[in-house]
């Protein structure tokens, strides 16, 4: 796992220097503090710089980047893991490729040499990488299928800069931070910016399952190589429960086996729910070591699952670690979490995960397996049940009993748990008969979240309107993303799963709660449920195997019933949540930094929110001591947006560049020679000097 950076100046007006790459690497040091690599290539007017901040997990000695092919004309910086690298290596060796390391990174560069950009289709892994072709003067960027690892880029004045995190782009001084009004509109509607948007103007996100090709004289090509696909309704190939159970068990076990490949110890998160317990049990089955597991507990019983976590740890006999997370700790860590997330967030849920990864690091582990992805692939979320009940209700709109099923879905929302039909009609009845809407499953969520936009300032609303309603996250009845051509032929559950995977999973869960919170503490998360083979298998299952009545993840429960405690296997889904307003207003009084962010002068200076409207929200909280779910999300959104404005736009302070105290490999090419050097403590030491021909320079 690594952080990667790069700059390509195509016209030579601003040559890339070693200092440029060192500044960018300093901004992503937390992603890979073990060692660093810098590559510089100059040819005519073109100048390329690549950089890597490495978290060494595979081939600890030989895997330092950047890495080239045998002839030295292809170079790669790579972030992630390729789990089938051993199998791919054997195939490539049989085709005549020669390897200098045992790293999975070198497998990627040889695979690219053999097959070109389409090589990504053969990778089983989580990755973002950049490959520079010296001979063709071509840059290729690629990102894994579901978006586990991030990759951002910007184009300015004929140059291209890219990085694993936006702060590295800002550290390059090639682009300035400016909040993107359309992205804010999307965050306060569907919870995150939609690719290629980011929270900032002129900075794009490479979408999951895509690669980009950039070469002189040609327009940028962004190519989709993979997407979530479902069969037409009734065309599912897995219809028998026992057959589906057997195939799921076998494939999940293999996905876990591959994700245990590492030259360092591997641990697991244990939430106490079905998904993480499944993964921890399969890890225990496949590893001879005593497994270390890690859990979050909360002081508030409404969020706490420690009893189930302890039961599962005892069942497996793991060496268990627990962090008890308080509201005060969440409030104190929120600004740091926003710095790492680099986008406004509507919940505090990422904060405990940030603290949990610190616990992993403190116990000297670099890798953990988690249960993320099961809810998307096997219909575990309440939103799938909600859509099913609303469709059922729509068949008899006047029924008094059918809407009461909705009270079973959200026992943790007090206003809904005991609601009568009139309340349910008001909350869930909006357009519930519009069952032909392609976004039927999610439209209600987006509509409710969009109420948070009432806090927008008149200026921000005008800028959103100026950007064009066609760009808005919810533009009338139009979907906020492009849908596959055969989307209308899929089952309602498949349609809902697609929307959840493309919006919530990739752009919120795997970013704000996944990569950023783990890598902030130099920890790599691995996700067996997001093995693309597992996804494709689950997508072929009959909907009733995943959502049987209102029983979520039915096939997984059945598949694991002999491996997990009954209480864990059969317990109802408890969504992972964290307190919000209590973290920012303990005892009704705002934390010092919260008061600063919500000061009317600060709100007016940032220009995103109406100070009077925010003031009313704060007054309501202090008067009543509570807020609705939507209002709490609005509060988190306002605070995180204000922090983004302060940290990245007003007062951006890039971390210190890497320097002579760091272990650095430097490769210089293009002026008739190559120099590779390694920086240790305290001096530079030359380790290789190899002439190259002018055709490679």
Backbone angles phi, psi at 408, to 5 degrees: -80, -10
Of 235, 225, 146, the residue nearest 490 (C-alpha): 235
DSSP letter string over 366-424? -EEE--TTHHHHTT-SHHHHHHHHHHHHHHSTT-SSGGGGGGGT-TTSHHHHT--HHHH
CA separation for the pair 479, 215 (Å, rounded): 33
Q: In this structure, what are the phi and psi dihedrals at residue 204, rounded to the nearest 5 degrees? A: -110, 155
What is the predicted pLDDT for the residue at 420?
67
Mind listing the pLDDT tens digit for each residue in 589-603? Answer: 999 999 999 999 999
Nearest-10 crossing angle of helices 274-286, 241-259:
60
The pLDDT of residue 296 is above 80: yes
The more confidently predicted of residues 580 and 468 is 580
Band the pLDDT of 568: cuts 50, 70, 90.
confident
Structure tokens at 367: 């890798």
Q: If you average pLDDT over residues 70-90, what whole number do you get?
A: 96
pLDDT tens for residues 1-12? 699 999 999 887
Question: Could you tell me the strand order of the sheet in which 210-214 lies?
Answer: 67-68, 74-82, 125-133, 138-143, 210-214, 221-224
pLDDT in tens, 196-218: 999 999 999 999 999 999 998 88
Q: Compute CA distances 538 → 295, 457, 502, 523, 655, whole Å.
A: 27, 44, 16, 28, 43
Q: For residues 186 and 297, what is the distance between their CA atoms, to the nearest angstrom?
A: 31
Instruction: Please tell me the predicted confidence (pLDDT) of residue 470.
Output: 42
Residue 404 pLDDT = 85
Assess whether pLDDT exceeds 60 at residue 145.
yes
| C-beta atoms surrounding 280 within 10 Å | 27
Q: What is the pLDDT of residue 608?
A: 98
Summarised one tens digit per residue, pLDDT across range 304-349 is 999 999 999 999 999 999 999 999 999 999 999 999 999 999 999 9
Domains parsed from the chain with CATH numbers: 2-175+659-696 (3.60.20.10), 241-378+499-570 (3.40.50.620)
Q: Please give the mean pLDDT across all residues of the chain.
A: 91
Phi, psi of 92 (to 5 degrees): -70, -40
pLDDT at 352 (0 to 100):
97
Q: What is the pLDDT of residue 417?
A: 62
**Secondary structure (3-state) at 523:** coil
Asked if pLDDT for residue 697 goes beyond 60, the answer is no
Cβ(337)–Cβ(354) under 8 Å? Answer: yes
Bridge-based pairing state of the strands 221-224 and 210-214: antiparallel
Smallest CA-to-CA distance from 77 within 100, 99, 105 is with 105
Average pLDDT over residues 295-307: 92
Q: Is 281 exposed, middle or buried (0-12, 13-18, 19+ CB in 10 A)?
A: buried
Q: How confident is the model at residue 419 (pLDDT cuts 50, 70, 90)?
A: low
Q: State the residue for tokens 């190939």.
A: 237
Cα distance between residue 396 and residue 596, in whole Å: 51
Residue 418 pLDDT:
64
Q: What is the pLDDT of residues 351-373, one digit of tens each?
A: 999 999 999 999 999 999 999 99
Q: How far apart are CA 449 and CA 242, in angstroms?
A: 40
Q: Percentage of residues in the chain with pLDDT exceeding 90?
A: 80
Task: Convert the pLDDT of each residue in 501-519 to its tens digit.
Answer: 999 998 899 999 999 999 9
State the Cα–Cα distance between residues 473 and 13, nearest whole angstrom. 38
What's the whole-number mean pLDDT along residues 385-408? 91
Q: Which of 216-220, 434-438, 614-618 has the lowest mean pLDDT?
A: 216-220
Which backbone phi and psi does 621 adopt, to 5 degrees?
-60, -45
| Distance (Å, whole) CA 245 – CA 494 | 19
pLDDT at residue number 671:
61
- Supply φ then ψ for residue 152, to 5 degrees: -120, 155
553-562: burial string, b at 16+ Cβ within 10 Å, e else: bbbbbbbbee
* pLDDT (average), residues 448-461: 95
Cα–Cα distance for residue pair 180/194, rounded to 1 Å: 12
């Amino acid at each position: 796992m690594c952080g990667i950076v790069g700059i390509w100046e195509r016209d030579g007006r601003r040559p890339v220097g070693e200092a440029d790459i060192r500044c960018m690497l300093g901004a992503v040091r937390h992603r890979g503090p073990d060692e660093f690599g810098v590559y510089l290539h100059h040819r005519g007017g073109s100048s390329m710089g690549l950089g890597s901040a490495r978290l060494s997990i595979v081939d600890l000695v030989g895997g330092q980047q950047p890495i080239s092919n045998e002839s030295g004309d292809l170079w790669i910086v790579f972030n992630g893991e390729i789990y089938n690298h051993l199998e791919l290596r054997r195939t490539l060796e049989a085709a005549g490729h020669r390897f200098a390391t045992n790293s999975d990174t070198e497998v990627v560069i040889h695979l690219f040499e053999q097959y070109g950009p389409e090589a990504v289709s053969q990778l089983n892994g989580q990755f973002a990488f950049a490959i520079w072709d010296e001979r063709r003067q071509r840059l290729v960027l690629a990102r894994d299928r579901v978006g586990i690892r991030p990759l951002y880029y910007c184009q300015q004045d004929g140059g291209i800069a890219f990085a694993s995190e936006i702060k590295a782009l800002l550290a390059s001084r090639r682009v300035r931070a400016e909040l993107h009004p359309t992205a804010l509109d999307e965050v306060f509607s569907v919870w995150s910016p939609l690719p290629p948007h980011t929270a900032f103007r002129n900075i794009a996100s490479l979408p999951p399952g895509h690669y980009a090709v950039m070469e002189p004289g040609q327009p940028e090509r962004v190519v989709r190589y993979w997407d979530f696909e479902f069969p037409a309704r009734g065309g599912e190939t897995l219809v028998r429960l026992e057959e589906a159970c057997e195939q799921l068990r076998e494939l999940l076990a293999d996905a876990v086996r591959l994700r245990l490949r590492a030259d360092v110890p591997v641990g697991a998160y244990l939430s106490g729910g079905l998904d993480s317990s499944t993964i921890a049990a399969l890890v225990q089955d496949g590893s001879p070591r005593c497994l270390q597991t890690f859990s979050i507990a909360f002081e508030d019983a409404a969020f706490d699952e420690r009893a189930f976590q302890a039961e599962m740890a005892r069942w497996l006999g793991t060496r268990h670690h627990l962090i008890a997370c308080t509201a005060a700790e969440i409030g104190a860590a929120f600004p740091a979490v926003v710095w790492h997330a680099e986008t406004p967030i509507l919940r505090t849920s990422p904060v405990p995960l940030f603290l949990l990864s610190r616990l992993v690091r403190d116990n000297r582990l670099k890798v953990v397996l988690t249960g993320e992805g099961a809810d998307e692939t096997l219909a575990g979320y309440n939103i799938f049940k909600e859509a099913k009940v609303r469709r059922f209700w729509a068949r008899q709109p006047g029924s008094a009993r059918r809407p009461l099923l909705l009270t079973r879905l959200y026992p943790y929302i007090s206003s809904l748990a005991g609601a009568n039909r009139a309340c349910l009609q008001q909350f869930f009845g909006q357009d519930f008969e519009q069952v032909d809407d392609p976004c039927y499953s999610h439209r209600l969520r987006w509509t409710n979240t969009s109420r948070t936009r009432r806090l927008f300032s008149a200026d921000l609303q005008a800028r959103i309107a100026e950007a064009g309603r066609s760009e808005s996250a919810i533009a009338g009845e139009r979907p906020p993303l492009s849908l596959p051509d055969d989307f209308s032929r899929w089952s309602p559950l498949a349609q809902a799963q697609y929307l959840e995977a493309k919006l919530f999973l990739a752009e919120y869960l795997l970013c704000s709660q996944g990569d950023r919170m783990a890598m902030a503490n130099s920890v790599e998360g691995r996700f067996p449920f997001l093995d693309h083979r597992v996804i494709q298998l689950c997508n072929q299952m009959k909907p009733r195997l995943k959502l049987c009545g209102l029983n979520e993840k039915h096939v997984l429960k059945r598949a694991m019933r002999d491996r997990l405690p009954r209480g864990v296997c059969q317990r109802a889904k408890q969504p992972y949540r964290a307190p919000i307003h209590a973290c920012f207003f303990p005892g009704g009084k705002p934390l010092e930094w919260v008061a600063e962010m919500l000061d009317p002068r600060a709100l007016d200076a940032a220009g995103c929110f109406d100070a009077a409207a925010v003031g009313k929200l704060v007054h309501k909280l202090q008067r009543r001591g509570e807020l609705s779910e939507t209002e709490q999300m609005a509060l988190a959104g306002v605070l995180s947006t204000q922090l983004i404005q302060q940290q990245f736009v007003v007062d951006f302070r890039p971390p210190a560049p890497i320097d002579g105290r760091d272990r650095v490999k430097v490769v210089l090419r293009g002026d008739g020679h190559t120099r590779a050097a390694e920086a240790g403590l305290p001096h530079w030491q030359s380790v290789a000097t190899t002439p190259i021909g002018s055709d490679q320079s």
